[in-house]
Amino acid sequence: MASSTSAGGGRAGDTGIGRRVQRLRTELGLTQRQLAEPEYTAAYISTLESGRVRPSETALRHLAERLGTSVDELATGRPAHLATELRLGLTDARQLLGAGDAGEAAELVRKLLVTAERHGFTAERAEALIALGDCALDLGELTEARESFEAAELLLAGEPLPRRAAAVRGRAVAHLLAGELRYSCYLLESAIDELNRSGLHDPDALALLHSAAIAPYMDMGAYARAAQSAEFALALAPSISDPALVARMHRGVARAMIAEGRVAEADASLTKAQELYRQLHIRTELAHCHWMRGYVHAQDGDLETAESELRTAREMLASKRAQLFTAQVEVELADVLRRRGRCEEAAALLGRMLDGIGAALGPERGAVHAAGAHRLLGMIADDGGAADEAERHYCEALSLLEHSGAAGDLADICRLLGDLLRREGRTEAALDAYRTGLGHRPAPGTTTLGTGPAEPSL
In the 3-class helix/strand/coil scheme, how is the chain assigned residue by residue? Answer: CCCHHHHHCCCCCCHHHHHHHHHHHHHHCCCHHHHHCCCCCHHHHHHHHCCCCCCCHHHHHHHHHHHCCCHHHHHHCCCCCHHHHHHHHHHHHHHHHHCCCHHHHHHHHHHHHHHHHHHCCHHHHHHHHHHHHHHHHHHCCHHHHHHHHHHHHHHCCCCCHHHHHHHHHHHHHHHHHCCCHHHHHHHHHHHHHHHHHHCCCCHHHHHHHHHHHHHHHHHHCCHHHHHHHHHHHHHHHHHCCCHHHHHHHHHHHHHHHHHCCCHHHHHHHHHHHHHHHHHHCCHHHHHHHHHHHHHHHHHCCCHHHHHHHHHHHHHHHHCCCCHHHHHHHHHHHHHHHHHCCCHHHHHHHHHCCCCCCCCCCECCECHHHHHHHHHHHHHHHHHCCCHHHHHHHHHHHHHHHHCCCCHHHHHHHHHHHHHHHHHCCCHHHHHHHHHHHHCCCCCCCCCCCCCCCCCCCC
60: nearest Cα among 79, 80, 39: 39
**pLDDT score, position 312:** 95
Other beta carbons within 10 Å of 279: 11
Work out the average pLDDT over 60-66. 90
Work out the average pLDDT over 223-236. 89
pTM tops 0.75, yes or no: yes
Other beta carbons within 10 Å of 445: 26
255: nearest Cα among 297, 287, 284: 297
Which pLDDT band holds residue 449 (cuts at 50, 70, 90)?
low
Which pLDDT tens digit goes with each residue over 234-244?
898 899 988 98
Work out the average pLDDT over 321-344. 91
Work out the percent of the chain whose per-residue pLDDT is above 90.
Answer: 48
**pLDDT score, position 452:** 41
Most confident residue range from 34-38, 216-220, 232-236, 332-336: 332-336
Which pLDDT tens digit goes with each residue over 117-127?
988 888 999 99
* Cβ atoms of 284 and 269 closer than 8 Å: no
Torsion angle of C-alpha atoms 152, 329, 269, 234, degrees rounded to 10: -30
Least confident range from 6-10, 245-249, 312-316, 398-402: namely 6-10
Please give the Cα distance from 76 to 69 (Å, whole number).
Answer: 12
Task: Produce one character per residue of 110-144: b if its CB has 16 or more CB atoms within 10 Å, e if not.
Answer: eebbebbeebebeebbbbbbbbbbbbbbbbbbbeb
Please give the Cα distance from 310 to 273 (Å, whole number).
Answer: 17
**pLDDT score, position 361:** 81
Which pLDDT band holds residue 80 (cuts at 50, 70, 90)?
low
Residue 36 has pLDDT above 80, yes or no: yes
**pLDDT score, position 14:** 58
Work out the average pLDDT over 168-177. 95
**pLDDT score, position 441:** 57
More confident residue, 11 or 198: 198
Which pLDDT band holds residue 10 (cuts at 50, 70, 90)?
very low
Residue 199 has pLDDT above 90, yes or no: no
Other beta carbons within 10 Å of 181: 27
Residue 73 has pLDDT above 80, yes or no: no
326: nearest Cα among 6, 334, 218: 334
**pLDDT score, position 6:** 38
Phi, psi of 289, deg, nearest 5:
-65, -45
Cβ neighbours for 197, distance < 8 A, ≥ 6 positions apart:
none
Residue 7 has pLDDT above 50, yes or no: no
Please give the Cα distance from 56 to 69 (Å, whole number).
Answer: 16
Least confident range from 186-195, 320-329, 428-437: namely 320-329
Residue 9 has pLDDT above 50, yes or no: no
* Cβ atoms of 194 and 419 closer than 8 Å: no
**pLDDT score, position 2:** 39
Instruction: Report the mean per-residue pLDDT for the chain.
Output: 86
**pLDDT score, position 146:** 96
Residue 403 has pLDDT above 80, yes or no: no
**pLDDT score, position 427:** 94
* Cβ atoms of 433 and 206 closer than 8 Å: no
Most confident residue range from 228-232, 272-276, 376-380, 409-413: 376-380
Work out the average pLDDT over 70-88. 81
Q: For residue 253, how many C-alpha atoms fall within 13 Å in the half-sphere facing its CB?
A: 30
More confident residue, 101 or 452: 101
Length of the chain, please? 458
**pLDDT score, position 221:** 79
State the helix-helix crossing angle for 387-402 and 367-383, rounded to 10 degrees.
160
Work out the average pLDDT over 138-146. 93
Which pLDDT tens digit goes with each residue over 335-391?
999 999 999 999 999 987 777 555 778 888 888 899 999 999 999 999 999 999 999
Residue 142 has pLDDT above 90, yes or no: yes
Torsion angle of C-alpha atoms 393, 397, 400, 404, degrees rounded to 10: 180
**pLDDT score, position 457:** 38
Residue 55: is the preceding peptide bond cis (ω within 30°)? no
Q: How far is the CA of 313 from the CAs of 139, 326, 328, 391, in angstroms?
A: 16, 8, 11, 31
**pLDDT score, position 440:** 61
**pLDDT score, position 184:** 94
